[in-house]
Each structure stands twice: as structure tokens, then as C-alpha cells.
A and B are shown apart, each in its own frame.
Chain A
Amino acid sequence: TQLLEQSPQFLSIQEGENLTVYCNSSSVFSSLQWYRQEPGEGPVLLVTVVTGGEVKKLKRLTFQFGDARKDSSLHITAAQPGDTGLYLCAGASGAGSYQLTFGKGTKLSVIP
């Protein structure tokens, strides 16, 4: 069974601060996706990373896929209250399997 460990589990920061969320596994993933979920809603895809060492930027969000494709990080610069939500990483094992393995999520609160 593939496991994804996400850290930290909870994060409360002031508006304007930077933060990094980590997603680690002992397994190799063919791709890794990051989602943001708000209460009572389904997850919304932020980005998919596929290549080891890949870095993708989405405005103030920077996503990195580890060289060995076992870990990933999400860095948010100058966090805003609108960034508040549950951030989930999910890995796909590939090899014909479409199933995603989800991390437990990071609950981010950005205080104005």
C-alpha cells in the first residue's frame, strides 16, 4: 500500500508570511497532484507534476516534484486570507492504475 505523509497537519499564519507544505512517500509516483478543498466542497485541482525535479508556479504558489518522484512540496509566498483551506496532495502510481493515493491534508488558516 502506497502512503503519502503530509506535513504539517495544521498551519496557522499571519497574512503576508510564507509557508511550505510537504508531501513525502517511500513509493515512487508517476505523477503527483495538489488540490485545495474548502469546507463542504470537492477538491479543486491546483497542479499536476510529472517529471522528477519539476517546478511549477501558479501565481504565488510554487510546486516542486522531487528528483526521485517520491516527494513534493508546495510553497506559498505572501499568504493571503483567500489561501485558507485544506491542501491535499495525491499521487498516481501509473502502470495502468488510475487510482490516486491521498495524503491526510494540511489545514491552512491565514489570519488577516
Chain B
Amino acid sequence: GAVVSQHPSRVICKSGTSVKIECRSLDFQATTMFWYRQFPKQSLMLMATSNEGSKATYEQGVEKDKFLINHASLTLSTLTVTSAHPEDSSFYICSAREDPFEYFGPGTRLTVT
């Protein structure tokens, strides 16, 4: 199957700083990528849909100015958590669509201290 990578796998940052997470489709091109957040012992919650060459579509309740998404190429989407706070600590997972399947990255564990 197709491979999606994420970098970094783990990051610890101080409150108030910004963190960028990269999502790459390694062996296919993805016009659509998705960003999810997963809290401990819970399922995946879709945050936003990232569209190559256009603005991301955010789910209700997700602040677009706090979670900046850039999908500059067909193989790369980035999520920047700006002015991070401890409540932003979570497991962030991206996925990339290769019709008709959606492939997930390994996730990024963000801890804000």
C-alpha cells in the first residue's frame, strides 16, 4: 500500500511557541490530505481537509488561525500549531487520499509544557 510519513514523530515545546508538523505522501501524489487529532483512548477527530493549491477547510470548532495548514505540493502538507498551549497536547495524525483509499501517517505526539 501507499506510504505516508510524518515528521517529527514526537515534539515537546514550551507554551506560547509554534510547532510545525509535516505530512508527506512518499510514493503517490495526493491532492487531498486530512489532519486529525486523537486524544488518549479516543477516536480520531477530523480537524481539517487540506487541498493542494487552495485553502484548507476546517471542521467546526477548529480555529484556523491557530492551526495553520499549508498544502504547497502534491506530496506535502504542513500543520503549524501556533502559540501552543498545554491543552493542544495530543496525537496529531495526517492522512493522504489515493482514490479510493485513505492512508494514514504514523502520527506526531505533541506535548506542550
Flag the segment in B11-19, B41-49, B66-74, B75-83 that touches A: B41-49
CA distance A88 to B49 in the complex (A): 20
Is B100 within 8 A of A31, CB to CB? yes
Residues of B contacting A33 in the complex (Cβ-Cβ under 8 angstroms): 101-102
Looking at chain A's contact residues, is the secondary structure mostly helix, strand, loop, or mixed?
strand
B32 interfacial by beta-carbon distance below 8 Å:
yes
Is B101 within 8 A of A48, CB to CB? yes
Is A99 within 8 A of B46, CB to CB? yes
B58 interfacial by beta-carbon distance below 8 Å:
no
Tell me how far the C-beta of B53 lies from the nearest C-beta in chain A, rounded to whole angstroms.
Answer: 16
CB < 8 Å neighbour of B104 from A40, A44, A48, A104: A44
Tell me how far the C-beta of B12 lies from the nearest C-beta in chain A, rounded to whole angstroms.
Answer: 15
A63 interfacial by beta-carbon distance below 8 Å:
no
Give chain B interface residues in 35-64, CB to chain A under 8 Å: 41-46, 49
A103 interfacial by beta-carbon distance below 8 Å:
yes
Residues of A within 8 A of B (CB): 31, 33, 35, 40-45, 48, 50, 88, 90, 98-100, 102-105, 107
